[in-house]
């Protein structure tokens, strides 16, 4: 989705600096900004320079974040909400406050719907995990004073996606590709101020 969104924003005239780490989370990004080592430091050594100071030096007008899907499994997909709540209090909320200190214009996109991409057996727990993650992110974003956009319903409401099969939407059951990635990027871009 990143390259698609970047292209849309560049067409609007924005200068975009994309910083991404595969399989990341709030914990990884908070540690990265603090200059601490984390589980992905060895795999992505260039992230060591992505500190708070580095981000401030870029003088961003806006910071756009898309995180939450990888932590939806916490506490057995939210069955134990306390585990998920503790994680977001310890990592997500401080990350949000840190980003707000860099620029007042922070927009955080939550995880999107994906239960139609998995077996019927797993749909209930994924729906619970994504829903609870969405609730926590919305709550902490309001406390941190940043804008939160829930992405849970967009794929159910996007007319262009209705004709696609689950496999066409998410080739591996998790990640968007092709037309669905472009739709996701357009949905995000429609929520980003020019």
Residues 47/24, Cβ–Cβ less than 8 Å: no
Would you state the pLDDT for residue 86? 97
Q: What digits encode the pLDDT tens for the residues 101-125? A: 999 999 999 998 877 777 788 888 9
pLDDT exceeds cutoff 80 at 93: yes
Residue that wins the pLDDT comparison between 165 and 6: 6
Report pTM. 0.91
pLDDT exceeds cutoff 90 at 128: yes
Q: What digits encode the pLDDT tens for the residues 29-77? A: 999 999 998 888 888 888 889 999 999 999 999 999 999 998 999 999 9
Cα Rg of the chain (Å, integer): 16
User: Cα 138 from chain centroid?
Assistant: 12
Would you state the pLDDT for residue 123? 87
Please state, as a whole number, how many other Cβ atoms lie within 10 Å of the Cβ of residue 118.
Answer: 16
Would you state the pLDDT for residue 151? 93
């Amino acid at each position: 989705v990143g390259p698609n969104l970047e292209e849309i924003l560049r067409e609007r005239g924005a200068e975009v600096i994309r910083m991404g780490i595969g399989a990341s989370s709030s914990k990884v990004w908070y540690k990265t900004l603090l200059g601490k080592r984390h589980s992905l430091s060895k795999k992505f050594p260039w992230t060591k320079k992505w500190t708070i100071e580095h981000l401030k030096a870029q003088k961003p007008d806006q910071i756009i974040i898309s995180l939450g899907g990888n932590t939806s499994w916490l506490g057995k997909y939210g069955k134990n909400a306390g585990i998920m709540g503790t994680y977001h209090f310890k990592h997500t909320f401080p990350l949000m406050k840190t980003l707000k200190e860099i620029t007042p214009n922070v927009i955080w996109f939550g995880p999107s719907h994906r239960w139609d991409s998995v077996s019927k057996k797993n749909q209930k727990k994924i729906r619970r995990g994504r829903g609870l993650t969405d609730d926590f992110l919305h709550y902490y974003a309001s406390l941190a004073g940043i804008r939160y956009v829930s992405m849970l319903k967009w794929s159910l409401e996007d007319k262009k996606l209705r004709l696609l099969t689950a496999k066409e939407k998410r080739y591996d059951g998790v990640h968007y590709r092709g037309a669905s990635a472009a739709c996701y990027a357009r949905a995000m871009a429609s929520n980003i101020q020019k």
